[in-house]
Amino acid sequence: AAEPLVSQWRAEHDPAAAVGIPAHITVLYPFMTGRPITPQVIDDLSVLLADRSGFSFDLVDVGRFDDTLYLVPEPVEPFVDLTSVLHDHWPEYPPYEGAFPDLVPHLTVAHGDAAEFEWMEPALLAGLPIPCVADRVSLFTEAEETWTTSGSFPLG
């Protein structure tokens, strides 16, 4: 639902867009880095995520980290719940390798110098809110600097 608003900026300012990752809200990253995605992993993801309900949310605001401009989803609790479920099952993969004390669900629009964000923010705000539905979790894997969808798991 956010692609019409963010695709141009992501193409220019988010390296993830250039390697095939669509606009998204990350649930758990990194995941299984350096390990194969086995049929057992796929089965576990299917079971864990089928137990979670899909949910509606809105992209309601623009936020910033030091070098990142992002859209803010509300409510955030369902995203935090999904992360917790997966991290509880695979504790060896903490969100963002444990680099941040708090989980902040977000949809990345741009990386770069914060001064560049000044002109993007008003245009993004004008396009909000965006009503959305999370009805599945997609698994993206990297091979040779390209990311592809390795699975799509419906939420119960």
Look up the domain containing 140 and give its range. Answer: 3-154
Tens digit of each residue's pLDDT (9 = 90 or more) over 54-72: 999 999 999 999 999 999 9
* CATH number of the domain bearing residue 47: 3.90.1140.10
121 — phi, psi (to 5°)?
-55, -45
Among residues 26, 25, 24, 32, the alpha carbon closest in space to that of 93 is found at: 32
Number of structural domains in the chain: 1
pLDDT value at 143 more than 90: no
Segment 69-89 shows an average pLDDT of 98
- Which pTM was predicted? 0.95
Segment 103-108 shows an average pLDDT of 98
Residue 33: predicted pLDDT: 85
Sign, CA torsion 18/1/105/129: positive
